[in-house]
Structure 1
Amino acid sequence: MSAPQVLLIDDDHRLAAMVATYLSQNGFVLAHEECGLAGLQRLAQAAPGDFSALLLDLMLPDMDGLEVCRRLRALPQPLRSLPVLMLTAKGDPLDRVVGLELGADDYLPKPFEPRELLARLRALLRRPTLADPAADDAVLRFGSLEIDPGARMVRIDGVERPLTSYQFDMLLVFAQRAGRVLSREHLFDVLKGGSPEPFDRSIDVHVGRLRAAIEDDPKSPRRIITVRGAGYVFAKVQDA
């Protein structure tokens, strides 16, 4: 099996060299582009499956990482589902939340330890296995909602609803545990392989984005329901 290839979009050449060396020692191949447009072109020209993940800096010379993420999520499959780990030197939590809302799967503040980067990257790449413990590709149906694990596709009334890789895995976790209340801590552990930091809002942000994609009225959700003080529950019976 060939080593997974990761694309880094960052204009810091010293950081890129450090990341390339460390990842190569741990079974990865790193490709590097220093600006957003060149990175998007590299992805668009690659064969399907060439890249396993994207490491994306928030601050780039031609466009910010948020715009890169926005454009990536508008590309056809399988590119739009590429896992994205956003790197940010800015300390404002709002930047991280906005990044998640635009389709990033996780974020890592700079400066970071290479071991933490590796751990976050491995967590992103193993998420489908965690999210699908039964390894069952059977289509899951809840009213007009269809979840196809094999094709990693979601449809409502036969129309595809685009989701990021993280959002799809979260929906699969919910669907496979329909009717059970899932705490934020449990979701974080299953999807990210660890415990959330205090005040980490990433799970809530992803739930909000997932609701926007699959609910008729995200402000009054009928599929993913909040259980105050406990977490979320995915409705077993769905009319819509």
Structure 2
Amino acid sequence: MGAHLIVGLDVDTRGEAEAVVEALGETVSLYKIGYQLFYGGDGLALGKALIAAGKQVFFDLKLLDIDNTVEKGVAAVAGTGAAMLTVHAYPKAMKAAVRGAEGSGLTVLGVTVLTSMDDADVAEAGYGRDAAGLVMLRAAQARDIGVGGVVASAHEAEMVRGIVGERLAIVTPGIRPSGSAAGDQKRVMTPREAIAAGASHLVVARPIVAASDPAAAARAILDEMSGGTRLA
């Protein structure tokens, strides 16, 4: 299974995002647009423009609502031509999302446990499982419901791959190149480690968008990814 680099456009404005995309040129083809840019920086319009320009767009919106609202929201995102969309990995939300994406090229991703959460955070949220146990449950539910993939920490990628098989995407945030700071993430890994563990897509934001030379930073990460056993 080949692996893909997703650059997270975690910036405030459309202009900043377009500058990153221009700097990256042909080095990167898949971009993530999350809350920060989507709501504050005209991210929906930017996403449509990127799609029209031949790029792939991942809308990281983590939808969770009543079934009809999720289904209609996913159908609307599918209509943009987006490649990926996140929903929280609750069974009813995932089932509604699958209905909304039916017939499109949109890959629905179920978010298992945020990479900023550890066992203490999961317990505080009221779950009777540790983080790994909750990821296992959500991954099995995602597999059975038929979404296109899951979002999980790279630390759980090997376990998740054993649950979902080779067909589903495993998208891993919290990726930090060797020697970089973890920031606000608690469960992080290097690109090489994540690929070796079974991840199919790596999300990298700050180490690329904040770099003085984003293209060079992206190429270095791609080189590091190529050292993972799944790409060897």
For the criterion TM > 0.5, the same-fold answer is no
TM-score normalised according to structure 1 size: 0.30
Relative contact order higher in (CA < 8 Å, ≥ 6 apart):
2
TM-score normalised according to structure 2 size: 0.30
